[in-house]
């Protein structure tokens, strides 16, 4: 008997999605940050994501921070496609002894994030779990993107530079609960530069960069010395900690002075380039179902 742990997350998703029928209005199906549907100039982004107690947050964590994270993860995926948030549905699964005040603060945290970055909660579902079970918050959402602004993981070209926003690593010190979805930055990029491929960094650069390269049908060369790191973070941690929620993107353009003028408090760094043939060997990052994972896994890998 093969277990999901033996198969691994990426292969599990690929197996489950193999042969799924697609409607005529599906622009992007499984495998990217969001599914994309529509026939006009404004396309619909579809995304669902979940946070689980003991995997994405500790039982004693402040609910307001958990709420922020739950919706910010979905908004971060909208950003990765060049889009903006719309309506969200929230499913809350919990045991009977969860404090009402915790749930109310959870929703306050969600509203904090949406008030700052856009989007509204329009409904959802609550369901009970057996006493002692881990609380789960699942957020499904609809975003929007102009067809000309849409960016996927699959458009990277040989010779494109690889960029990341911000600094990587050290997410367990608190950033994984307080990060800023890069919606404004992504919108600026797609309007001012030719961005060939993009995704958000959720599972760690060591997991996500190979995914982008595979989707684009290219390899990559990574300059480890240029990887921007948070304070007291080693290169291995920047590669593998995950839950950075920064943008990883590729472009033949030089991203420089215009960015600095628009976003003076957020750096953007060239960390390598796409190449033909094989990729550099890098290790680390989060993969769901892998035995021995540390606590606090990042987000799901795709729209599956």
Q: Domain residues of the chain, as ranges?
A: 26-147, 161-275
pLDDT in the model for residue 303 = 41
Task: Using 50 as the pLDDT threshold, list the residues of the chain that sit under it.
Answer: 297-304
Residue 209 and residue 220 in contact, taking contact as beta carbons nearer than 8 Å: yes
Convert the pLDDT of each residue in 118-143 to its tens digit. 999 999 999 999 999 999 999 999 99
Residue 6 phi/psi, 5° resolution? -70, -35
pLDDT in the model for residue 208 = 96
pLDDT in the model for residue 286 = 62
pLDDT in the model for residue 299 = 46
pTM for this entry = 0.92
pLDDT in the model for residue 216 = 97
CATH architecture of 161-275: Alpha-Beta Complex (3.90)
Question: Is the domain 26-147 a CATH 1.10.10.10 member?
Answer: no
What is the per-residue burial (b if ≥16 Cβ within 10 Å, else e) of 217-241?
Answer: ebbbebeeeebbbbeebebebbbbb
pLDDT in the model for residue 293 = 54
Convert the pLDDT of each residue in 85-128 to its tens digit. 999 999 999 999 999 999 999 999 999 999 999 999 999 999 99
pLDDT in the model for residue 185 = 98
pLDDT in the model for residue 304 = 39
């Amino acid at each position: 008997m093969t277990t999901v742990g033996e198969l691994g997350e990426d292969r599990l998703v690929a197996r489950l999605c193999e042969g799924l029928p697609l409607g005529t209005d599906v622009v992007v199906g499984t495998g990217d940050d969001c599914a994309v549907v529509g026939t006009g100039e404004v396309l619909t982004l579809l995304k669902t994501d979940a946070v689980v107690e003991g995997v994405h947050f500790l039982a004693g964590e402040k609910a307001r921070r958990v709420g922020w994270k739950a919706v910010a993860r979905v908004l971060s995926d909208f950003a990765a496609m060049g889009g903006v948030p719309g309506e969200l549905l929230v499913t809350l699964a919990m045991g009977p002894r969860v404090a009402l005040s915790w749930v109310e603060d959870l929703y306050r945290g969600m509203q904090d994030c949406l008030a700052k970055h856009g989007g509204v909660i329009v409904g959802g579902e609550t369901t009970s779990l057996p006493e002692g079970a881990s609380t789960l918050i699942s957020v499904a959402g609809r975003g929007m993107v102009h067809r000309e602004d849409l960016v996927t993981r699959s458009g990277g070209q040989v010779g494109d530079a690889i960029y990341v926003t911000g600094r990587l690593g050290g997410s367990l010190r608190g950033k994984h609960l307080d990060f800023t979805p890069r919606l404004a930055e992504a919108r600026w990029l797609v309007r001012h530069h030719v961005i060939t491929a993009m995704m958000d960094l959720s599972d760690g650069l060591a997991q996500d960069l190979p995914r982008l390269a595979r989707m684009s049908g290219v390899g990559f060369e990574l300059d480890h010395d240029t990887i921007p790191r948070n304070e007291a973070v080693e290169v291995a941690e920047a590669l593998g900690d995950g839950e950075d929620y920064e943008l990883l993107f590729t472009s033949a353009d030089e991203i420089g002075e215009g960015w600095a003028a628009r976003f003076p408090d957020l750096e953007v760094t060239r960390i390598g380039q796409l190449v033909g043939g094989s990729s550099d060997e890098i290790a680390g990052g989060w993969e769901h179902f892998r035995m021995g994972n540390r606590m606090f896994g990042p987000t799901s890998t795709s729209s599956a």
